[in-house]
Amino acid sequence: MRLPPSARSAALGGLAYGGPWIEPSAPFLNPALLRPTYHNRLSLSVQPYLADITHTTLTYARYWEGVGTFWSGLQYLNYGTLRAADEVGNPLGTFQAYEGVWSIGAMRAFGRWQVGMNLKVPFSAVNIERYRRIGLGTDIGILYEDTARGLSATLVLWSLGTELYRPNGRPFAQPFPTQIQATVSYKLPHAPFRLHLGTVHLERWRLAANDPLQPIQYDITGNPIPPPPPRWTEHLLRHIIGGVEIEFSRAFVGRFSYNFQRRRELSPRGSSALGGVSFGVGLHLRKWGLDYAYTLFFRQAGAHTFTLWMSPFRSGSHGAP
């Protein structure tokens, strides 16, 4: 559930922001970002993830006049073929492992405000020993958008829920990794730049901790000196994700973001690699669009994301305005 569902969200640090470049997979992160103009729109995202893992997202949206806009989607993570062995390493063949989340949601607009809600069912399975897990959760989001001023802001209670059972059907009430996230986007007047500022984990302040593998220092008597606790600025920066979209034209856009927490958590100590950096481009036409993103975790470890959306079905009498 934490993986970005589209190339745009991947290029912008893993969050979904307001603005004219939203695509149909955004409701995975905030259901309030659903648009009536997504009527009969289909979206497919493919991300060749780390270690030959494949992450795929499929979404579809539909608008009913006077009722609201609805969508449904599936995120699927396939770990491929794995080798099975007993406790001493003797080979037992191969097996498959996968996990994902099926979501369905709706949005209703009230002037400049949009309110949305998702129902999500995460699942995972390993096809040996009948290991299965399934859960039930929800997302609740709000969007405020002032198109005249180029301003939009979102707030989302993301992934509120719990597992329903664990292997062999035994009860297992492990809660989901619930977050409160907020974003602000602003289009600079007379300039092709849209600035994005996102905040994550607003439900708790402390996100930093001392590295237990850092070298131990000793005083003159040989006693270890405990490291000082992280400063408040370290906690603050780990909540922030910054990004920018450069609108080269009405159809073509470039994207760049920096995720401070990802940089701190994944880059090796002393490394100068650009961990936490993501960038991408997008081409949006009237009936279809294509987005690309590259996410750099650390050094040469990164992931490409491709998103294709289109309107393959003819709009009926319930088409969006």
- CATH number, domain with residue 14: 2.40.160.60
Q: What is the pLDDT of residues 234-282, one digit of tens each?
A: 889 999 999 999 999 989 999 999 999 888 887 666 555 677 899 999 9
Average pLDDT, the chain: 87
Q: Is residue 44 part of a domain?
A: yes
120-124, 154-158, 296-300: segment of lowest average pLDDT: 296-300
Q: What is the pLDDT of residues 24-37, one digit of tens each?
A: 899 999 999 998 88
Sign, CA dihedral 209-213-215-217, equals: positive
Q: 42, 103, 111: which is closest to 307 by C-alpha? A: 42
Residue given tokens 């149909």 in the structure block: 24
Q: Is residue 87 part of a domain?
A: no
* pLDDT band (50, 70, 90) for residue 154: very high
% of the chain residues with pLDDT over 70: 90
Q: Is residue 182 part of a domain?
A: yes
Cα 214 from Cα 270, distance rounded (Å): 11
Q: Is the pLDDT of residue 307 over 70?
A: yes
What is the reported pLDDT for 311? 82
What is the reported pLDDT for 317? 40
Q: Is the pLDDT of residue 130 over 70?
A: no
Q: Is residue 200 part of a domain?
A: yes
Q: What is the pLDDT of residues 173-197, one digit of tens each?
A: 678 889 999 999 999 998 999 999 9
Name residue 310's beta-bridge partners: 42, 288
Q: Is residue 216 part of a domain?
A: no
Owning domain of residue 256:
7-81+94-209+228-310
What is the reported pLDDT for 168? 57
What is the reported pLDDT for 1? 82
What is the reported pLDDT for 180? 96
What is the reported pLDDT for 319? 46
Cα 297 from Cα 267, distance rounded (Å): 7
Q: What is the pLDDT of residues 54-103, one digit of tens each?
A: 999 999 999 988 888 999 999 999 988 888 888 888 888 888 888 999 99
Q: Is residue 66 part of a domain?
A: yes
Q: Is residue 137 part of a domain?
A: yes
What is the reported pLDDT for 128? 61
Segment 184-211 mean pLDDT: 91
Segment 138-155 mean pLDDT: 95
Give the chain's domain count.
1
Which of 122-136, 142-156, 167-181, 252-266 is most confident?
A: 142-156
Sign, CA dihedral 4-191-274-154, equals: negative
What is the reported pLDDT for 318? 47
Burial group, residue 49, by CB count within 10 angstroms (0-12, 13-18, 19+): middle
Q: Is residue 193 part of a domain?
A: yes
